[in-house]
Amino acid sequence: MKNPPLQQGHDGPRAPPLRPYQADTLQRMKSYEGNAALCVIATGLGKTRIFAEYIRCDVLENDHHILILSHREELVIQPLEYLKGLPCGIEQGTTHAHGEPIISASVQSLVGRLDKYNPYSIDTIIIDEAHHSAAPTYRKIFEYFKNAVRFGFTATAIRGDGVGLDVAFDDILCEYNTLYGIEHGYLSPIEACQVNLKYDLGTVQYREDTGDYDAADIARVMSGTAAGIAEAYTSNARGQTIIFAPSIEEGKNMTALLNSQHGASTAAFIDGTTQNRGRLLEAYRLGLIKVLVCYAVLTEGVDLPMTETVLLARPVATTNVGLYAQMVGRGLRLHPGKSACKIIDCVGISRMPICTAATLIGEEPLAPKPKKEQVEKLPEETEPIKVLTGADIPDTWIQNQKEVDVMALGEGVTTHDVAWITLKDGGYIPVSYTH
């Protein structure tokens, strides 16, 4: 039996036309003849719009049944805003779907309810934040609906634990990264500065299973840094700000400091146990809260384009590039009155290999190895820069050409091992805190 007539349209009456890369991805999906393909779309480039448009076409033109898989409550609900007019069901918690042609489900709920579904009832599976797809719960669902074509969407096709996504996907259909978005005006330009908190990761354990530093060790090493982080915000931030804290304790401490220094409703703390998270996010969107201090949340699937500053106070190992890109991505969306996203990096100055702003261009940053006394001499804030002509630049400064050229595009990337930035007019900008 055919499904009831469905409302035509594209994401509502005033939806803008698809951008060129969105249209390209949509066409690639329509013409795909394989079993499982991954679409790598940087945070802020509108991956939900792309797969929502595909779902409309697949349901309306092919009479297919679609399953959207997500791993968190916010992501289960989010696609439905793009699918108004189409019958959609939800499989999450106490909410159950009832045979709708489009079902948005949480992985955790669906994996325990598979027996209510005919394994041949789903034609297409869309996986949001698809870098999670290597997990056993996802793979169980894929195996159950083994005849369904799968399309995964992620900003970062890299897992910290080193497990390859080839266990879930056969092909990479397209890749549009952060640099592409900035170059073409779809993402906000980046300004970056570094603040030295003088912490030491030397005793922090690296965990092979997560591909990152041990969370408990990070909390121990960065205990007592709340005041420095609060000062970094006060001295450098502008506009709505998200702070990624190194621990729950430091997050709560810096929230209290910011509220005491800037007013009682300046900042709010959010972690995985926060009951009123939705209300706090809405208050932030409305400007009633200026700063969101978060721990282990807000790295994925939250649309907060009004964010002008992202303050990083949680060290991320270079093997976990995906997490770093997700955090910074909270500030990359365009918004009226927003000229750039400012990254305040409070953890990039380290003798250990740490992600920095250079990570966003798809390069593994070089592991800085300054001596201890050199670390201690680094300034608390980025010093003003001076524009020099080509004739003024020592030959010894010219190094790491690829990263420098990228920075010249306007990202404002700062690294330890790049001492200058080339300008279009042939001049150079030295990065004064490098050594």
Residues 197 and 140 in one domain: no
The answer to whether residue 218 is domain-embedded is: yes
Centre a 10 Å sphere on the Cβ of residue 95 and count the other Cβ atoms it contains.
12
- Domain limits at 137? 20-176
Instruction: Pick the more confident residue, 358 or 46.
Output: 46
Boundary (domain end) residue, out of 152, 176, 200: 176
Evaluated on CA atoms 222, 227, 229, 230, the torsion sign reads: positive
Residues 84 and 233 in one domain: no
Residues 75 and 207 in one domain: no
Residues 339 and 210 in one domain: yes
The answer to whether residue 2 is domain-embedded is: no
Residues 195 and 316 in one domain: yes
The answer to whether residue 152 is domain-embedded is: yes
Model pLDDT, residue 394: 43
In this prediction, residues 139-150 reach a mean pLDDT of 95
List of residues 6+ apart from 339 with CB closer than 8 A: 188, 189
Rounded Cα distance, 331 and 4, in Å: 41
The answer to whether residue 423 is domain-embedded is: no
Q: What are phi and psi of 354, to 5 degrees?
A: -120, 140
The answer to whether residue 233 is domain-embedded is: yes
CATH number of residue 318's parent domain: 3.40.50.300
The mean-pLDDT minimum among 5-9, 16-20, 49-53 falls in: 5-9
Residues 58 and 163 in one domain: yes
pLDDT digits (tens, 9 = 90+) for 325-346: 888 989 999 999 999 999 999 9
Residues 172 and 238 in one domain: no
Mean pLDDT of the chain: 80
Boundary (domain end) residue, out of 339, 365, 381: 381
pLDDT digits (tens, 9 = 90+) for 79-120: 898 999 999 999 999 999 999 999 999 999 999 999 999 999
Model pLDDT, residue 241: 98
The answer to whether residue 205 is domain-embedded is: yes
Model pLDDT, residue 166: 66
Tell me: pLDDT of 211 over 70.
yes
Boundary (domain end) residue, out of 361, 381, 401: 381
Q: How confident is the model at residue 434 (pLDDT cuts 50, 70, 90)?
A: very low
What percent of the chain shows pLDDT beyond 90?
53
pLDDT digits (tens, 9 = 90+) for 268-326: 999 989 988 889 999 999 999 999 999 988 766 678 999 999 999 999 888 777 788 88
Number of structural domains (the chain) is 2
Model pLDDT, residue 299: 66
Q: What are phi and psi of 293, to 5 degrees?
A: -100, 120
pLDDT digits (tens, 9 = 90+) for 382-391: 333 344 444 4
Are 332 and 44 in contact, with CB atoms under 8 Å apart? yes
* Helical segments of 267-361, H only: 277-285, 321-329
The answer to whether residue 91 is domain-embedded is: yes
What percent of the chain shows pLDDT beyond 70?
75
Residues 164 and 203 in one domain: no
The answer to whether residue 399 is domain-embedded is: no
Are 392 and 405 in contact, with CB atoms under 8 Å apart? no
Residues 116 and 196 in one domain: no
Residues 200 and 334 in one domain: yes
Instruction: Kindly state the tokens that stand for 268.
Output: 């709010």
Residues 328 and 350 in one domain: yes
Model pLDDT, residue 200: 86
Model pLDDT, residue 147: 95
Residues 346 and 260 in one domain: yes
